Amino acid sequence: MKPVAIFRHARTEGAGFFSDFLNESGIPWQLFRVDEAESVPASAGSFSGLVFMGGPMSVNDDLPWISPALDLIRDAVSKEVPVLGHCLGGQLMAKALGAKVGRNRAREIGWGRVEVLGEAEKWFGGMQDFEAFHWHGETFEIPQGAIRLLSSRWCDNQAFSYGPHLGLQCHVEMKGEMVRQWCETGKDEILEHLGQSVQSADEMQRSLDDRIAILNGVARHIYGAWIDNLVK
């Protein structure tokens, strides 16, 4: 089987639970360290799927790898190679599909419930809502032809599907050590924006093991639906 290509845009925002899931499922994967100037492939044809992780930058920034990433996503869509995006990754997908990405109406940091909307059965089964992890100041509009799947109090567009492709604004890939690390590296951002939509580091780490265990269960369902479309 061709490997799943995973694109990391920041050292602290790696594949997390997603790579654990692939290993459990016996699916090969290849990590592209974009944050270490590894090149983005020109074609999706060598991979069974593409996965784009998060990052602190904007998809609207003038960075050398953004245009190649957008081209790669479009190539994958044309070849029906499934794409999965987490936060920044979901924003890259939306932009590649012609939708706007810009400032969200509130900075959203910490744990918060997302509502599962209609036509989401494939991805979320019988779930009506779940608690996801959030860390973003921008968000995407829903691309033309895509289906909005999730919404939260602070962000209307939390996920969309486009055929076999899934773009997420929220983070479902989290592990406990990732939350703790983000709280440390992002402590200044937390203190600057602390409020209704931004939790304290203490609150984010409260009952962390239990929250992560539940989120991993949600992610396992989502990822299971996504790998059903991998190119064999």
Stretch (H or E) spanning 221: helix 208-227
pLDDT number for residue 125: 87
pLDDT in tens, 131-157: 999 999 999 999 999 999 999 999 999
Structural domain for 202, as ranges: 4-227
**Looking at the domain assignment, is residue 174 inside a domain?**
yes
The interaxial angle of helices 208-227 and 17-24, nearest 10 deg, is 50
Q: What's the mean per-residue pLDDT of the chain?
A: 97
**Looking at the domain assignment, is residue 158 inside a domain?**
yes
106 burial via Cβ count (<10 Å: 0-12, 13-18, 19+): middle
**Is residue 162 predicted with pLDDT exceeding 90?**
yes
Q: Which residues contact residue 167 at a Cβ distance below 8 angstroms, ignoring those fewer than 6 apart?
A: 83, 84, 85, 89, 90, 91, 93, 94, 140, 146, 159, 160, 161
pLDDT number for residue 119: 79
For residue 37, what is the domain's CATH number?
3.40.50.880
pLDDT in tens, 57-110: 999 999 999 999 999 999 999 999 999 999 999 999 999 999 999 999 999 999
**Is residue 232 predicted with pLDDT exceeding 90?**
no
**Looking at the domain assignment, is residue 129 inside a domain?**
yes
Amino acid at 218: V
**Is residue 206 predicted with pLDDT exceeding 90?**
yes
**Is residue 17 predicted with pLDDT exceeding 90?**
yes
pLDDT number for residue 121: 86
Q: Is the pTM of this model over 0.95?
A: yes
Beta bridge partners of 62: none
**Looking at the domain assignment, is residue 232 inside a domain?**
no
Instruction: Count structural domains, the chain.
Output: 1
pLDDT number for residue 180: 98
Cα 89 versus chain centre, distance: 5
pLDDT number for residue 126: 87
**Cα four-point dihedral sign 71, 23, 148, 135:** negative
